[in-house]
Amino acid sequence: MERNEIEKKLEKIFKTVFNNDSIVLTNELTANDVDGWDSLSHMLLISEVEQEFSIRFKLNDLNKMRNVGDMINIITSKLQ
């Protein structure tokens, strides 16, 4: 799957989880930039991403993610 295709799918998940159609994903986007990105919504986000891409993150993968760019990199590496 191409990176921009991953981004598109991810943006759709973000808009649903955070109930906000105006979210635009950038590599630098973090929890500090999105209203309502708390523990619970983070868990739902991770769960939706795993389901959409049919992957399972390791705990180590999750702890390395500092922004959306990291998330895309890890998804990409899992899909290869």
Partner 1 sequence: MPEYKIREANINDIDFIVKAIIEAEKSGSEIFSYSKIFNLKEEELNQIFHQMLLEEIEGCEFSISSYLVAEINNKIAGTIGAWIENKENPSTIIRGNLLSYFLPKSSLLFASQQAKIISELNIDHVIDALTFAIVYISPEHRGNHLFELLANEHIKRNKGVKELSIQLMANNVYAIKSYERYGFKKELEMKSDNLKLLEILPYNEKILMKKQLK
What is the spatial distance between Cα 57 and Cα 36, in angstroms, rounded to a whole number? Answer: 22
CB of 63 to partner 1, least distance (A): 6
55 lies in the site for partner 1, by CB under 8 A: no
- Supply 36's token pair: 């309502």
The least CB distance from residue 41 to partner 1, in Å, is 6
Among 66, 70, 75, 78, contact with partner 1 (rule: CB under 8 A)? 66
Segment near partner 1 (CB under 8 A); pick from 6-14, 21-29, 39-47, 72-80: 39-47
Please provide the DSSP assignment of 1-35 as one string. --HHHHHHHHHHHHHHHTT-TT----TT--GGGST
